[in-house]
Chains A and B, each alone.
Chain A
Amino acid sequence: MKNVSVSQLKYHWRVYLFVVPSLCLLLTFAYFPAMGAIYYSFFNWDGGFVKEFIGFGNYVRALGDPYVRHGYYVVAILVFANLFKMIPSIAAAVVIHRLKSTRSGYFYRVLFVIPMIIPGIVMILIWKYFFDPNFGILNEFLEFTGLMDALIALDGAFGWGVFLADSAPAWLSRPELIIPALIIWGFPWVGTIGVLIYLSGLSGISDDIYDAAKVDGAGPLRTFFSVELPLILTQVRINLILMIIGTIKEYGLTLVLLGHTGGPGGVGLVPGLYMFRRAFYDKETEMGYACSLGIIMFLIILALTFVNQKFVRVDK
């Protein structure tokens, strides 16, 4: 890399031209709207030309809005669930890495990439079909494996009133089942890119280390925690941050799966979807209010990222 000091700028100012297009795009279409969101969040604004300054009115209203509280409650559950949904990718990568034959390792790597050809929205729509109470695969799978009987028995014991012997559970139209459906979605939760990223981190481990671990009598689990996990901790942490941000921002999934109302009872009305609905779907669009909801979300993401940086440290 070439160091250019301020005094050398008159010979090298042209270099800035290379970053100008990107920077212009960024400022115009990312930062300018973001600043706009802050500005509009102080107004009662329906998206038209008339707007009325109301100070922190939108924020006060948001803090008391039961939909907002519910949305973040759902998001908190989903973040917690997604924490566990990170495990399959790590497990798959570790197992592939431990294969003795590098050829089958490469072969599996390629196979894991192939499901990426399914466009995101198709994946959501196909799960919508899996959840269908009458024709869907999920209920059929539960019946076939006998899990349904177990669920019905559990239901009898706890009195959920959801899994009944005489009717198939309607995953997306029973309020109680919507959050479980949002968690089950995407099983087996193996992210292609995640697996490849972990694998690349693991590839730094030499056979000697494995041999040494073996000599010390470390079992597979012990080897994982003392050899493999430390090496992919950076990637795990990056994925953790991205997962948290992604989960809080997410609303495409709920929009397609449940519609803009968030499903029956609005159970699936995550904050992003609520904001989207307020801005574009409700009869009286409240863009100012939606903007304030967005700013709140931004602050929450920022705070969580900060906490993550601070406490989930990686010693290298």
Chain B
Amino acid sequence: MFKSISRSLKNQRSEVPKHAFILMVLFFAFFPLYMILNISLKTNDQFFNDPLTPTFPYHWENWVYGWKQVSGSIYVTIFLSFTSTAFNLTVSLCAAYFFGRYKMPGGRLFFMLFLMQMFIPGVVNLIPLFALLRELHMIGTFAGVIIPATAGAQVIAIYLLRNFIEDIPQDLFDSAQMDGASDLRQIVHIVIPMCTPIIVTVAILDFINHWNDFVLPLVVLGREELYPIGVRLYQLDGVNLKQWGPMMATYIIAAIPLIILFIFGMRVFVRGIGTGAIKG
């Protein structure tokens, strides 16, 4: 008995360096987040004296000031990210159904077309895309951001979703077919319920990507009141230069919607990305 206790203690001890390593990495990974939060509550004087540790009193008015600076663009970004994600999921789910459920003539060629898109550098596209959007009178409109962004983002979504649709047992589709269910019904009643975790994962990834989108809106929107948060922060970077507290407050505010998203989607996301990757 003593032997087993001493062995388990020894096992415990061999775990310590592992935990120490992970915690050290996590410390550095969390450090930026801590600094944003920390400095966002300081006046400039507090910041100059002690940037590293929290100082009292907290200055929540920085947050109010920051909110005034970016609230408009937060609404814009929520709208843009939400619409783009919904649009993307709709078209990607249909396309993934096409690729995952059927082996159609030409299907492989289409799939290659989608994958090839990843090799085209975005900045190459950007210039002729700008010219195209100008022809279509979409410069300065939200559609000019949402539609091209979706066209690019769908590739990875289709790729991930297809792998999962392929794995759905064929019997399910067959029996649905027997009952006279159309393809659309099969998507709604079989694919969506069976693939919820990966759909949620794709949605979260996509939402974050659109939230981070920066160059396309900068080039396409061109008017300050239409700017999403990324462009707005870039623009404020010059303006807020000597106002450290409010500047960091705007960074926190920019992250809050993503924090909320994670609170709800975290569990599914951590699992979904794991399984999605194995198949990939």
- A interface residues (Cβ-Cβ under 8 A, vs B): 1-6, 9, 12, 14-16, 18-19, 21-23, 25-26, 28-37, 40, 47, 88, 91-92, 95-96, 98-101, 104, 106, 108-123, 125-130, 135, 137, 140, 187-188, 190, 193, 196-197, 199-201, 203-204, 235, 238, 245, 248-249, 251-252, 255-256, 272, 275-276, 279-280, 287, 290-291, 294-295, 297-298, 301-302, 305
- CB-contact partner of B251 in A30, A126, A280, under 8 A: A126
20 more CB-based (< 8 A) A-B contacts, given A23-B113, A34-B124, A196-B270:
A4-B103, A15-B98, A22-B114, A25-B151, A26-B151, A32-B132, A33-B125, A115-B30, A117-B255, A118-B33, A123-B32, A125-B251, A126-B35, A137-B35, A137-B52, A188-B25, A256-B214, A275-B124, A279-B127, A290-B127
* A109:B123 contact, CB within 8 angstroms: no
A29 adjacent to B152 (CB under 8 Å) = yes
**CB-contact partner of A116 in B99, B118, B128, B208, under 8 A:** B208
Min C-beta distance of A143 to chain B, whole Å: 12
Q: Is B75 part of the binding interface, using a Cβ–Cβ cutoff of 8 Å?
A: no
Q: In the complex the two chains form, is A297's CB within 8 Å of B25's CB?
A: no
Which of B91, B234, B278 meets A121, CB within 8 Å? B234
B residues within 8 Å of A by Cβ? 11, 15, 18-19, 21-22, 25-26, 28-30, 32-33, 35-36, 47-48, 51-52, 91-92, 94-95, 97-105, 110, 113-114, 117-132, 147-148, 150-152, 154-155, 158, 166, 170, 173, 183, 205, 208, 211-212, 214-215, 219, 229-230, 233-234, 237, 244, 251, 254-255, 258-259, 262, 266, 269-270, 273-275, 277-278, 280
Interface of B is mostly: helix
What CA separation (Å) do A187 and B123 show in the bound complex? 26
> Which residue from chain A places its CB closest to the CB of B269 in the assembled complex?
A113
Q: Are A297 and B251 in contact (CB under 8 A)?
A: no
Q: Which residue from A114, A125, A140, A187 sits with its C-beta under 8 Å from B262? A: A114
**A–B pairs, 29, beta carbons within 8 Å:** A2-B170, A12-B102, A16-B104, A19-B95, A26-B155, A32-B128, A33-B124, A33-B126, A37-B124, A40-B127, A40-B128, A88-B25, A92-B25, A96-B22, A101-B15, A108-B26, A115-B30, A116-B208, A119-B258, A120-B214, A122-B254, A190-B29, A197-B274, A249-B121, A252-B215, A255-B215, A294-B127, A297-B121, A302-B119
Residues of A within 8 A of B273 (CB): 193, 196-197, 200
CB A296 to nearest CB in B, in angstroms, measures 9
A21 neighbours in B (Cβ, 8 Å): 91, 94-95
Cβ A26 vs Cβ B114 within 8 A: yes
**CB pair A256 B234 closer than 8 Å:** yes
**Contact among B105, B166, B266 for A113, CB-based, below 8 A:** B266
Q: Which of chain A's residues has its CB closest to B260's CB?
A: A117
- Whether B219 lies near A280 (C-beta < 8 A) is yes
Contact of B233 among A40, A101, A125, A197 (CB under 8 A): A125
The answer on a CB contact under 8 Å between B233 and A122 is yes
Residue of A nearest to B279 (CB): A200
| A110 touching B266, Cβ below 8 Å | yes
Task: Determine the distance from Cα of A25 to Cα of B147 in the docked complex, in whole angstroms.
Answer: 8
A5 with B124: CB separation less than 8 A: no
Nearest A-chain residue to B209, judged by Cβ: A120
Given contacts A137-B35, A291-B127, contact A100 B15 (CB under 8 A): yes
User: In the complex, which residues of chain B have a beta carbon less than 8 angstroms from the beta carbon of A280?
Assistant: 219
Check B127 against A29 for contact (C-beta < 8 Å).
no
User: Given that A25-B154, A200-B277, A302-B119 are known contacts, is A36 also in contact with B131, CB under 8 Å in the complex?
Assistant: yes
Q: Is the CB of A19 within 8 A of B94?
A: yes
Please measure, in the bound complex, the distance between the C-alpha atom of A35 and the C-alpha atom of B128, giving whole angstroms: 9
A98 to B269 Cα, complex, angstroms: 22
Determine the chain B residues whose CB is within 8 A of the CB of A2 once the complex forms.
101-103, 170, 173
A305 to chain B, nearest CB (A): 7
Set A16, A23, A34, A91: member contacting B120, Cβ < 8 A: A34
